[in-house]
Amino acid sequence: MSRINRRKAIGNLLIGSVGASGMLAFKDMEKTKTHPLKGNIRHAVCRWCYNDIPLEQFCAAARDMGISAIDLVGPKDWPILKKYGLDSSMCNGAEINLVDGWNDPIFHEKLIRNYSEMIPKVAAAGYKNLICFSGNRRGKDDETGWKNCTDGLKQVIGIAEKHGVTLVMELLNSKVNHKDYQCDKTSWGVELAKRIGSPNFKLLYDIYHMQIDEGDVISTIRKYHEYIAHYHTGGVPGRHEIDETQELYYPAIMKAIVDTGFKGYVAQEFIPSWTDKLAALKKGIEICDV
């Protein structure tokens, strides 16, 4: 009886050891496994933050993370995005730059030509959003800026409507990064949208920039969400990772965006400080996937 009991005890011990090692292996697998995203946020990422990674490599990595679009990519790179099944969520290439924009008539001729040519290209590629900028104030008051932007943009908004493309003006902070930029408050952009009076003109609400210039991010999103076509992320201060190293709580912000019924893209636009930049991006996606 003692030999039988001994064999049974040893057998139970071996089974237990196999079970324990199996559980440890399972936990290790869970650490590296990419879990399916929840589908409430359409994830995108800005190309310029990862320019040192070859585009094809970047597209493959982004796709594997569950990212479905790349921001701020021009026509020459659209074929590569299509190869990897990625959308161009915020097209560029028609703007002059960030400082010479629609608020100054001196630039209207060139901007009208650029946007008149680019809008049909965006539509033909199957994309929806094309970025634009107010430009710097250079001494202009709000009323002058609104009037000049309205006069210029109304000359191309009909083309955008015809082709189903939305012109999206980015909100940038004028306190730290873009001194003198005119469209630096959500209310300024909303007033411009009201004057243009078209569903094909909306705003790019950059969470990083607006936290710096006006704060009150969640309330602003709730109040003005109908005028917002797109969102950018970024940690404050410094525009690095959106984790616990900065002051914004992104899960609550994402929840507020979802609650508005938003169906567009949220694009990561932080500058990675981690050695493994793609790991930082993956973490950002996880934080925003509410």
- So what's the pLDDT on residue 213? 97
- So what's the pLDDT on residue 36? 85
Measure the CA–CA gap between 149 and 108, rounded to whole angstroms.
9
CA dihedral 43, 227, 132, 122 (to 10 degrees): 60
In the predicted model, is pLDDT for residue 30 greater than 50?
no
- So what's the pLDDT on residue 32? 33
Q: DSSP readout, 164-222?
A: T-EEEEEP--TTTTSTTBS--SHHHHHHHHHHHT-TTEEEEEEHHHHHHHT--HHHHHH
pLDDT in tens, 58-109: 999 999 999 999 999 999 999 999 999 999 999 999 999 999 999 999 999 9
- So what's the pLDDT on residue 172? 98
- So what's the pLDDT on residue 231? 98
Measure the CA–CA gap between 230 and 1, rounded to whole angstroms.
75
Measure the CA–CA gap between 220 and 45, rounded to whole angstroms.
23
The pTM assigned to this predicted structure is 0.88
Mean pLDDT of 38-62: 97
Neighbours of 17 (CB within 10 A): 10
Burial class from Cβ neighbours inside 10 Å (0-12, 13-18, 19+) for residue 250 reads: buried
- So what's the pLDDT on residue 34? 55
**Closest by alpha carbon to 59, among 93, 92, 95, 89?**
89
Residues 6+ apart with CB under 8 A from 290: 38, 40, 41, 251, 254, 255, 258
Measure the CA–CA gap between 228 and 233, rounded to whole angstroms.
14
Measure the CA–CA gap between 225 and 208, rounded to whole angstroms.
17
Question: Max alpha carbon distance in the chain (Å)?
Answer: 101
Q: DSSP readout, 260-279?
A: TT--SEEEE-----SSSHHH
pLDDT in tens, 173-218: 999 999 999 999 999 999 999 999 999 999 999 999 999 999 999 9
Measure the CA–CA gap between 256 and 101, rounded to whole angstroms.
31
- So what's the pLDDT on residue 4? 46
In the predicted model, is pLDDT for residue 27 greater than 90?
no
* Cis amide prior to 237 (ω within 30 degrees): yes
